Amino acid sequence: MDDQKEIVVSSKKFRNKSIVAFIVFFIAIAAGVFAWKWLQRQPQVAGVQKPLRKGLSLDEKVFSKALSDKHLAKTYPVSAAAKNVRFNGDVGLRSPLDSNWKLKVVRSPGDTLFISLDDIKALPKTDITFDFKCIEGWSQISNWSGVKFSDFAKKYNLGLQTQMNYVGLTTPDNKYYVGIDMASMMHPQTLLCYEMNGKPLPLNQGYPLRLIIPVKYGIKSLKRIGTIFFSSTPPPDYWYERGYDYYSGL
């Protein structure tokens, strides 16, 4: 009958498919063994075979480029922001603040802009509520506002400067300093920040101006910016010099 015929055909197909599957399976095993033996013969780079090291380096590249520079840090509603914001670290904040503070932006040696807080406040304002993470193990959802560094760079015609690889920031007394890769500095969530919870920054939180860079650990969010400069090589970094990761990306 028609039905039975169909069953016979299906089981034939089934058998053929099984045979093909077994052949593919054995070829895959042979290929795996061959690849493994080949890998064992490869020269080593920094403790692992070169092709594996290449994989690791590629991973690193993908993570640092695609994740930390382009991905957005998770944001929260303003209502989730802490009212009593933790403060941590006062390196570079111990000397009294100069009442004539102006932000120094070194465009090139001998060409420095001096920018007042009012001028910075006149630029487009953005705010962000995110989970601020300290490398010491605490984190806190907090709210910050200021101007995106990318907007600031546009307004002050820093096109040439932002083609360099790094930005360096220091406190007015040069006691705290960080280096930041340009992609992270130009990231849309990176702010030159002058308000916390909608009010001027408290002194211990970096008044008059601090960096807020949600794609990095807190160590990079330098408080009380004195000078910003640009560099093709990694600028000095306070915590890097004390054994932490230069990149410190999240």
Q: Which of 168, 214, 218, 226 binds ligand MTE (CB under 6 A)?
A: 218
236 SS3 class? coil
Please say which residue, 219 or 228, places its beta carbon nearer to Mo ion: 219
| Residue 83 burial (C-beta neighbours within 10 Å; 0-12, 13-18, 19+) | exposed
Contacts of residue 170, Cβ cutoff 8 Å, sequence gap at least 6: 92, 176, 177, 222, 225, 226, 227
| 70 forms part of the interface with ligand MTE (CB under 6 A) | no
Buried b (16+ CB within 10 A) or exposed e, 131-150: ebbeeeeeebbbbbbbbbbb
Neighbours of 156 (CB within 10 A): 15
Distance of CA 29 to the CA centre of its chain: 41
| 134 forms part of the interface with Mo ion (CB under 5 A) | yes
Tell me if 182 sits within 8 A of 167, measured CB to CB: yes
Please say which residue, 93 or 105, places its beta carbon nearer to ligand MTE: 93
Q: Which of 208, 214, 218, 249 binds Mo ion (CB under 5 A)?
A: 218
Amino acid at 112: T
87 binds, among ligand MTE, Mo ion, none (CB under 5 to 8 A by kind): ligand MTE
Query: Could you tell me which residues are beta bridge partners of residue 146?
Result: 126, 193
214 binds, among ligand MTE, Mo ion, none (CB under 5 to 8 A by kind): none
| 88 forms part of the interface with ligand MTE (CB under 6 A) | yes
Binding mask 171-190 for ligand MTE (x = CB under 6 A): x----x--------------
Please say which residue, 218 or 235, places its beta carbon nearer to Mo ion: 218
Shortest Cβ distance from residue 238 to Mo ion (Å)? 11
Q: Where along the sequence are the contacts to Mo ion (CB under 5 A)?
A: 134, 218-219
Site residues (vs ligand MTE, CB under 6 A): 86-93, 134, 171, 176, 205, 218-219, 221-224
